[in-house]
Amino acid sequence: MMINATINFFDSVPLYPGWLFLFFFGLFFIKLTKYRKLGIRYLIIFSVPLGIFTLAFWLMDYEYLNCMLNGSSEAMENC
């Protein structure tokens, strides 16, 4: 069981360096080349997932999730 969880975690690990690459690549284009607009686009692409995750966590109803995940089947009717 633990091995499957570890394998599933490592399936998504290459996404994180690739996503952070957009940030540094955008800064590189803004500061060191004449392609400033391309660097700004890369920074926007980098910041969109951050904005989506922030909005999702802000709008999430944690009390409802706690009730649904930790309650019994009888208690779930009152959630």
In a domain, 5, yes or no: no
Alpha carbon separation from 40 to 3, 4, 50, 55, 78 (Å, rounded):
41, 39, 16, 22, 48
Mean pLDDT of the chain: 76
Note the pLDDT tens digit of each residue in 58-74.
887 778 777 777 776 67
Domain span at 40: 16-76
Share of the chain above pLDDT 90, in %: 0
In a domain, 7, yes or no: no
- For the chain, how many structural domains are there in total? 1
pLDDT given for residue 1 in this prediction:
46
In a domain, 3, yes or no: no
One DSSP character per residue, 36-65 reads HHHHHHHHHHHHHHHHHHHHHHHH--HHHH
